[in-house]
Amino acid sequence: MHYKAVIFDLDGVLVFTDKYHYRAWKKLAEKLSIEFTEKDNDRLRGVSRAESLEIILEKYHGKPISEDKKREYLEEKNDTYRQFLGDMNRDDVAKEIRDTLSKLRKDGYRLAIGSSSKNTAYILERTELTDAFDAVADGTMITRSKPDPEVFLKAAELLLEKPSDCLVVEDADAGVTAAHAAGMDVAAIGAATKSQRADYSLEVFSDLLGILER
Ligand code: B16
Ligand code: MG
């Protein structure tokens, strides 16, 4: 067995909250008369909330915005986003994902979350996924978000595993860069498969079993 642990990104890998991020950012962008498309939203994958706002403001042409006002906008966006999260439940995680996680654990792999999101604990609770993991490293524990390796190194530290023994599963290019910078191999799924920079490419989540059990 080459790897001892698997670190999962959350948004875009285990749950599909990217549509909620999109709707919440869109609401704020409209208020500020900023054009915001789904393509723009793709640039926010794996990026922290504050950095996401700066990316959105690249297309803003109004009066200068103070730091206090930006904090207010961030809170507003998060309130909208959390309203969507409040409607999530166990059914928002596919059976294929739950079964794959259980199988990996049964086979002795240590499992962790490595997410930029400060809402990680709430999402795991809503979807009844908390107990599926041995450790959770998230946006509340780091000072630098992906593409910085901090969140993945934190996950390895919590698992008491060496980075080289961990495989990361990611949907964002920023996350692929972060995992490599942490000295970890990466399996890409979804959007991150396009750039072909990852070590493995997953067509479906359960393809992980083929990588880890060969
Ligand atoms: P929050 P991940 C990331 O989660 C999202 O992909 C990204 O779009 C979001 O801005 C970031 O979390 C922060 O989320 O506003 O909930 O703190 O993909 O790293 O699981
Ligand atoms: Mg993601």
Per-residue three-class SS string for 8-66: ECCECCCECCHHHHHHHHHHHHHHCCCCCCHHHHHCCCCCCHHHHHHHHHHHCCCCCCC
pLDDT recorded at residue 1: 52
What global pTM score does this model have?
Answer: 0.94
Number of domains in the chain: 2
Domain containing residue 65: 18-85
CA of residue 189 to ligand 1 center, whole Å: 16
CA of residue 208 to ligand 2 center, whole Å: 17
- Judgement on whether residues 204 and 100 belong to the same structural domain of the protein: yes
End-of-domain residue from the set 85, 102, 123: 85
End-of-domain residue from the set 62, 85, 108: 85
CA of residue 20 to ligand 2 center, whole Å: 13
Q: Which residues are catalytic?
A: 9, 11
- Judgement on whether residues 99 and 199 belong to the same structural domain of the protein: yes
Dist. CA 207–CA 202, nearest whole Å: 6
- Judgement on whether residues 64 and 103 belong to the same structural domain of the protein: no
- Judgement on whether residues 172 and 150 belong to the same structural domain of the protein: yes
Task: Let me know: does 20 contact 85? Beta carbons within 8 Å.
Answer: yes
State pLDDT tens for residues 21-54: 999 999 999 999 999 998 999 899 889 999 999 9
pLDDT recorded at residue 213: 83
Q: Which long-range contacts (CB under 8 A, 24 or more apart) does 179-184 make?
A: 179/7, 179/149, 179/152, 181/147, 181/148, 181/149, 182/149, 182/152, 182/153, 182/156, 183/149, 184/7, 184/152, 184/156
Q: Which residues of the chain have pLDDT under 50?
A: none
Q: What is the CATH number of the domain that holds 31?
A: 1.10.150.240
Tokens of 111: 């499992």
- Judgement on whether residues 180 and 193 belong to the same structural domain of the protein: yes
Residue of 3, 13, 5, 4 whose CA lies nearest to 116: 13
pLDDT recorded at residue 46: 86
Q: CB neighbours of 151 closer than 8 A, spacing ≥ 6?
A: 114, 115, 116, 137, 138, 139, 141, 142, 145, 178
pLDDT recorded at residue 184: 98
State pLDDT tens for residues 80-100: 999 999 999 999 999 999 999
Pocket of ligand 1 (CB under 6 A): 9-12, 21, 44-49, 52, 78, 115-119, 139, 172
DSSP state of 180: H
- Judgement on whether residues 80 and 164 belong to the same structural domain of the protein: no
Q: Which atom of ligand 1 is nearest to the CA of 78?
A: 15
Place of tokens 């049964």: 106
Ligand nearest to the CA of 170: 2
pLDDT recorded at residue 214: 66
